[in-house]
């Protein structure tokens, strides 16, 4: 679900939960408005498809 850069950041964080949470916040902050809306709709079941599916773009 995370872009490769952020996957690496999560691996580097190891067991440090605060660094992991910061990385997740950075992922969310990096989403465009359209990406954020599409992700929200998938997570809440408003549209079909897995929330974990890689999206084009």
Q: Which pLDDT score, from 0 to 100, does residue 57 have?
A: 54
Cβ contact 51:39 at 8 Å:
yes
Q: How far apart are the first and last CA of the chain?
A: 13
Residue whose pair of structure tokens reads 């850069």 in the numeric block: 5
Determine the pLDDT at residue 47: 84
Low-confidence stretches of the chain (pLDDT < 70) are: 1, 51-57
Whole-angstrom distance, CA of residue 52 vs CA of residue 42: 9
Maximum pairwise Cα distance, the chain: 34
Q: How far apart are CA 19 and CA 42, in angstroms?
A: 26
């Amino acid at each position: 679900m995370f872009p490769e850069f952020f996957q690496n950041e999560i691996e580097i964080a190891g067991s440090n939960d605060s660094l992991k949470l910061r990385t997740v916040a950075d992922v969310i902050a990096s989403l465009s408005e359209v990406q954020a809306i599409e992700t929200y709709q998938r997570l809440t079941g408003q549209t079909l498809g897995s929330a974990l599916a890689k999206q084009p773009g």
